Amino acid sequence: MSKLERCFEGTPETSPKLRKQEINLEEAKLHLEKAEWNLHAAEKMAEHKFFDWQIVCSYYAMYHATVASLWIIGLEVRSHECAIAGFEAFYISKKVPKEYLSNLKNAKQLSREYLNSLSEAKTERINASYGIGEIKSQEAEKVMKNAKTFIIEIKKLLYSASGNEYIQVK
C-alpha cells in the first residue's frame, strides 16, 4: 500500500488522514491567512535572530498553504505527512487512484520545485526543532524565501479556483 493510499484508508490503528470532501474555498482562504500569519511570525523571528524559530514558522506557513491547496480540490488533510503526500500526488506527479480523478481534474500542474522546497522546509524544521546545532541565518532566510514563493503560488491557485486573477501587490 502506498503512502497516499494509507492516508486515504488509514490503518487498523489510525483513521484516514486524507478525506474527500466538497471543495471549500473559504477553508482554503482561512488556511492561507494562517500561512501569511506564520510568515509574518517568521519575519519577526528573523528580526530578533531567532533563526530556528524563523525556520519553524516558515515551514508552518508552507504547511498551511499546502492544506489550502488540498481544500481547493476538495480534500481535507489531518497530518503533515499526508498533506505532503497529497500535494505531491495531485499537484506534482498527477498519479492518484482512479476514485480521485475528479479531484485531480481540479488540480493545476505545479513544478517539482514546490514539492522540493516543502520537503526541505520540513527537514529544516525538524532539525531546528529537535537539533541542538547552530542554525545559520542563510539557512533560515532560504526557507523563508521559499515559503513566500510557495504561498504566492497557492494564492494563485485559490484566485484561479475563485474565477479571479491574482495580482501581486509589492
Which of helix, strand or coil describes residue 15? coil
**Residue 11's pLDDT is what?**
87
**Residue 167's pLDDT is what?**
72
Which of helix, strand or coil describes residue 20? strand
All structural domains of the chain with their residue ranges: 3-161
Instruction: Give 21's contacts (C-beta < 8 A, 6+ positions apart).
Output: 71, 74, 75, 76
Q: What is the pTM of this model?
A: 0.94
C-alpha dihedral sign at 145, 34, 116, 69: negative
Q: Cell 513544478 identifies what position?
A: 111
Residue ranges of alpha helices (H) inside the chain are 3-9, 25-47, 51-72, 80-87, 101-104, 112-130, 137-161
**Residue 159's pLDDT is what?**
93
Which of helix, strand or coil describes residue 77? strand
Pick the CATH number of 3-161 from 1.20.1290.10, 3.10.129.10, 1.20.120.330, 3.40.1280.10: 1.20.120.330
Q: Cell 504561498 identifies what position?
A: 151
**How many angstroms separate the Cα of 59 from the Cα of each of 24, 67, 81, 116, 143?**
23, 12, 13, 12, 7
Instruction: Give 99's contacts (C-beta < 8 A, 6+ positions apart).
Output: none
- DSSP letter at 98? G
Give yes or no for a contact between 103 and 20, defined as CB atoms under 8 angstroms apart.
yes
**Residue 165's pLDDT is what?**
74
Give yes or no for a contact between 121 and 62, defined as CB atoms under 8 angstroms apart.
yes
- Tens of pLDDT along the chain (170 residues) come to 789 999 999 988 999 999 999 999 999 999 999 999 999 999 999 999 999 999 999 999 999 999 999 999 999 999 999 999 999 999 999 999 999 999 999 999 999 999 999 999 999 999 999 998 888 899 999 999 999 999 999 999 999 998 887 677 66
